[in-house]
Amino acid sequence: MNILVAGSTGVVGAPLTKKLVELGHQVTGTTRSESRLAGIEAVGATPTVCDALDRASVGAMMESVRPEVVINQLTNFPTDLDQRDPGFYDGTNEIRRVGGRNLLEAAQDAGVRRFVTQSLAFMYRPSGDWVKDESAPNVDEFSGSIGGAFQAMLEHEKLVVDADGIEGVILRYGFFYGPGTFYAGDGITGIEVKRRRYPIIGKGTGVMSFVHREDAADAALAAIDHGAPGIYNVVDNEPAPMSEWVPIYAESLGAKPPRRIPLWLARLVAGKEIAALAVEMRGADNTKAKSELAWEPEHPSWRRGFLDAN
């Protein structure tokens, strides 16, 4: 199958591109940087430089490749963890709003059959059950940098779901862990935990869902020819509250146990949005993805996954 992976050098894009080539697919991988072309070529894919924010460039590339399936793994995350910065997610929001639209429209124009795109599995409204499936309502209030990120992501989801003439598949990923992620030992979160600057806030009741980067890639691989168009939670089997996973994660890094701080102090230090997520966030249920995408996470729980990854 002729497949285009947009963002093929990223946390999910890199292992995905390699897996697709190994299965015999004809793969074109995009990157923004010429310095990364050799890495794409090294795994057997055809590399190309493409600026997702340039509609003409994206259109020309799509017409040249004429893929049957496009997999969007574009991101532009900052390298420093400062979510109180109003511009923290600006780069990624632009990629999702402008780059995602450019990629989708070019795919429609080129007659692409299926458009698989990444999203977030932690945008569910913080009320009711602590673990949500895809039918649950999403957040509808967007304040702070994290709220802006949710809004941009949900706008992209709607664009894909409503697109005419193309099968839109949305993979709502949990928090990535494994090499090259924020949760790697040398990642942003890993470093903060080692410094004991990632405390448990309040009672730590906010529930998070994780997914190993390799499992995330496997889900995208499965989505090229499994599942009806729609939304799928791609997470492991064990959503867990902050009070439970942070101490185990710290131990896996060889770090001291995390500190605990009251909610009121977290609001002052980290901002009210981040503080709220620490006690209100909902986890995600992966039943639909396992059933309809014929996908099963190789790392079913972060408990063992953290130990293996670190």
**Residues whose CB falls within 8 Å of the CB of residue 265, separated by 6 or more in sequence, listed in order:** none
**Which tens digit of pLDDT belongs to each residue from 225-248?**
999 999 999 999 999 999 999 999
CA distance 206 to 190: 19
C-alpha distance from residue 19 to each of 43, 172, 215, 217, 308 (Å): 9, 20, 11, 8, 21
| Structural domains for the chain | 2-309 (3.40.50.720)
pTM of the model: 0.96
Report CA torsion sign: 50, 55, 56, 61.
positive
What's the alpha-carbon Rg for the chain, to the nearest Å? 19
C-alpha distance from residue 30 to each of 39, 61, 234 (Å): 11, 9, 23
**Which tens digit of pLDDT belongs to each residue from 121-173?**
999 999 999 999 999 999 988 778 888 899 999 999 999 999 999 999 999 99
Least confident of 74-83, 144-153, 274-283: 74-83
CA distance 29 to 3: 9
Q: Are 255 and 193 in contact (CB under 8 A)?
A: yes
H or E stretch at 174 = none
Strand partners, 118: 171
pLDDT at 72: 98
DSSP state of 139: P
